[in-house]
Amino acid sequence: MPLLRRANSRTSEGLQALWPGGTTVTELRGDQLAGSLLGQALGDALGFVVESQPPEIARVYVQGWLRARRAGEWSHPEFPFGQYTDDTQLARELVSSFRDAGGWDPAVFSARLAQLFQEQRDVGAGEGTRSAAGRLIHGSSWKDSGTAAPYAGNGAAMRAGPLGLLLPDPLTMSRVAREQASITHRDPRCGAGAIAIARAVALAVQRGPISSHEFLEDVADSADGPDSSFAEAVRGIGPWLALSPADAARQLHRSGLDPRHVERWQGISAFVIPSVVWTLYSFLRSPEDYWETICTAIEVGGDTDSMAAMAGAISGARLGPAALPEDLVGRLNDRGEWGPAALTELARSCAAIVASH
């Protein structure tokens, strides 16, 4: 059965229905959200090991460690393996704000974001997010805190995946994705990237095999409002899916989608368009294989933690926690806190809130 566009909108009554096998849709949504958060955290932790490294180093890591079943033996120079970065920290704070407010409230999320930075607990945040957090800490309204265009990093997109599950209505999801993006990133391309990742998560959990063409068309349509160039870039991914990651990366760079690659990055930069495009390519190359998706996201080099985090959020939502390597998931943490049990509990509590709406 092909993936159906806009098919994931459900009423609160529908969320109480039984899924085949006796599982309620609320329980299923909790499992999907837990899979997405854990999948993101693990991808983030795995990619963090070689963040900002050139493709040559990233490929050695993927081939000699990840594919050789030695993941976790190579750690980031400043943290033990399992530490995830601001990519997952901010997705977690977004979901926590949803729990605290009983739904989406930008002021509650902004307060949690500001507190994370005020307490200096962030790990590896980018310039745009850090600057916005500073403005929030010094009293700016969330409506005025975002870093202005043309700064267009992927900080708003990397945390947006859970919205695809927390907000079943696509129009509401798109509005909230843009709104939460504006708190740190005001460039419309950042809003488009956030919508693309959230919508990809929503589409990934639909039943049946994925049609890559319909998937990309749906994501492009969703992201088209904030920025048409983003939608064009998403639609251009289709022909690359037949290419190897190395050839697809060459096509991406030749396309001019990543000007920061030429300036200072080796691999794919933290600019929102190329990093989201590579994320979608990585997932669609192997939508039923979490590990392969993560390897593809990382082996190109560059902003490996963010791309693996976004790809992990999509793949983890589709495949669920059971598809993730248990031994590695068990090592996830944020400086010794917020491990897999806490993330799972957060996901399930938010699924109950979704059901009550």
Separation CA 155–CA 45 (nearest Å): 16
On whether residue 20 sits in a domain, the answer given is no
Render pLDDT for 288-337 as a digit per residue (tens, 0 to 9). 999 999 999 999 999 999 999 999 999 999 999 999 999 999 999 999 99
Question: What total of structural domains would you count in the chain?
Answer: 1
Mean pLDDT, range 246-251, rounded to an integer: 94
Q: Does any domain span residue 4? A: no
Longest dimension (CA), the chain: 54
pLDDT at 225: 80
Instruction: Give percent of the chain above pLDDT 90.
Output: 86
- How far apart CA 13 and CA 31 sit, in angstroms, is 18
pLDDT tens digits for 334-353? 999 999 999 999 999 999 99
Q: Name the residue range of residue 277's domain.
A: 27-68+80-356
Judge whether 14 lies within some domain.
no
Average pLDDT over residues 172-198: 97
Higher pLDDT among residues 26 and 255, named by residue: 255
Cα separations (Å) of 315 from 38, 249, 321?
Answer: 10, 20, 10
> How far apart are alpha carbons 123 and 116 in whole angstroms?
10
Of the pLDDT bands very low, low, confident and very high (cuts 50, 70, 90), residue 20 is low
pLDDT for residue 26: 80
- pTM over cut 0.95: no
Whether 74 is in a domain gets the answer no
Looking up tokens 């917020």 gives: 338
Tell me what the mean pLDDT of segment 41-63 comes to: 97
Does residue 292 form part of some domain?
A: yes
> In this structure, what CATH number is given to the domain that contains residue 289?
1.10.4080.10
Is 12 within the bounds of a domain?
A: no
Tokens 């994320």: give the residue: 279
Binned at pLDDT 50, 70 and 90, residue 112 comes out as very high
**Within-domain flag for 268:** yes
Is residue 6 situated within a structural domain? no
- Give the number of other Cβ atoms within 10 Å of residue 232's Cβ: 14
DSSP string, 262-310: HHT-SSB-SBHHHHHHHHHHHHHHSTT-HHHHHHHHHHT-BSHHHHHHH
pLDDT at 356: 83
Q: Is the pLDDT of residue 159 over 50?
A: yes
Average pLDDT, the chain: 92
**DSSP assignment string, 202-236:** HHHTSSS---HHHHHHHHHHHHTTT-HHHHHHHHT
* pLDDT reading at 227 higher than 80: no
pLDDT of res. 264: 59
Whether 228 has a pLDDT exceeding 90, the answer reads no
